[in-house]
Amino acid sequence: MKRLALALLLLAALPAQAQSVLNRGNGAEPDSLDPAQAGSVMETNILGDMMVGLTTLDAAARPIPGIAERWEVSADGLIWTFHLRKARWSDGRPVTADNFVSAWRRLLDPKTAARGAQLLWVIQNARAVTAGKKPVTELGVTAANPSLLKIRLEHPAPYLPELLTLPAALPLPPNPSFKPGAYISNGPYLLKAWQPNDHITLAKNPAFYDAGTVKIDIVNYFPTSDSQAAEVPRYEVGNSSVERARTTTPRATAASSAFSSSTRSNRKMTMSMVFFARAIASTTGATPSSGWMISFTSTWASSRSTPPRRALRDRA
């Protein structure tokens, strides 16, 4: 009895586990968190923390399996078959192949006037759909069943796994909303708050299929028109942790350091240049050099202190 009482006393004396928080300068205020309208680095950074497409990026900005756990390519390079893992939206509904089909049809529908529509022109009939020459139902993407997505291309595109990491290729749940409290996501974080011109707050998504690898609990994005100049005063007063996460766990501290070095190396090129390069690739069939294919990693990808459980051997 005395031992039990002593054990309870010791447990009560232990400090509560603090949440790890990352405060990030993020350039200008984002215009929209609708994947169809995302066209800037600022929006891509945030969407990369909230949403996952068929493929995603590792800490070195290389495409790896995302919602698709594996895929095959036909001998002529025109038909890609993606096998979806068991993943759920933050409201508990499963992520299905139809979520990709409907999202891409919406993106390419001329009524949407999506900023990134040209990024999917590599898909059969996509350009004609955007021009209003063909209905969205003729887009070369079909859901064979809830976990099997088939994409037919206009021409071979070996860079497709990287292209599918962009916001334009993200899935959407039925009747999507892009406001805090109503935004349903399938990625590592949930949109908790958006105070225009002040901050955007994301919180860890417990429904995320790989939640065990998410080491940072809260991410705050701050608009900083001059990121380098703004980060110094924020850091000095304790409001910015772009170089470190405020946490009591050494593991998360190491994670923030990995994030810092990764983002510095990956942001040598603006997202507009990447979009431009991929747009050229999707319309001409040319494969850009690796220098043109630089992408930006999310907090989740950059902060993992252990490799993702998604094995690279699953890739076709």
For residue 251, the model assigns a pLDDT of 28
pLDDT band at 275 (very low <50, low <70, confident <90, very high): very low
- In this structure, whether the domain defined by 18-307 belongs to CATH 3.40.190.10 is answered with yes
Q: Please report where in the chains the tokens 């991410």 appear, as a residue.
A: 219
For residue 252, the model assigns a pLDDT of 32
The percentage of the chain sitting over the pLDDT mark of 70, rounded to a whole number, equals 66
Choice between 225 and 153, residue whose per-residue pLDDT is larger: 153
For residue 93, the model assigns a pLDDT of 97
The percentage of the chain sitting over the pLDDT mark of 90, rounded to a whole number, equals 59
Global pTM value: 0.73
Half-sphere exposure of 43 (CA within 13 A, CB side): 19
pLDDT band at 59 (very low <50, low <70, confident <90, very high): confident
Q: Is 246 helix (H, G, I), strand (E, B) or coil?
A: strand
For residue 39, the model assigns a pLDDT of 84
Mean pLDDT of all residues belonging to the chain: 77
For residue 220, the model assigns a pLDDT of 96
Q: Domain coordinates of the chain in residue numbers?
A: 18-307
Sign of CA dihedral 304, 193, 34, 44: negative
The listed range with the strongest mean pLDDT (15-19, 33-37, 288-292) is 33-37
The CA-atom distances, in angstroms, between 31 and each of 105, 195, 272 are 22, 13, 15
pLDDT band at 18 (very low <50, low <70, confident <90, very high): confident
Task: Please state, in angstroms and rounded to a whole number, the distance separating the CA atoms of residues 69 and 316.
Answer: 10
Which range has the worst mean pLDDT, 95-104, 176-185, 214-223, 225-234?
225-234
Which tens digits make up the pLDDT trace of 263-272?
333 333 333 3
Cβ pair 248, 256 in contact under 8 A: no
Which range has the worst mean pLDDT, 116-130, 190-204, 215-229, 298-312?
298-312
For residue 2, the model assigns a pLDDT of 57
Choice between 164 and 277, residue whose per-residue pLDDT is larger: 164
pLDDT band at 226 (very low <50, low <70, confident <90, very high): low
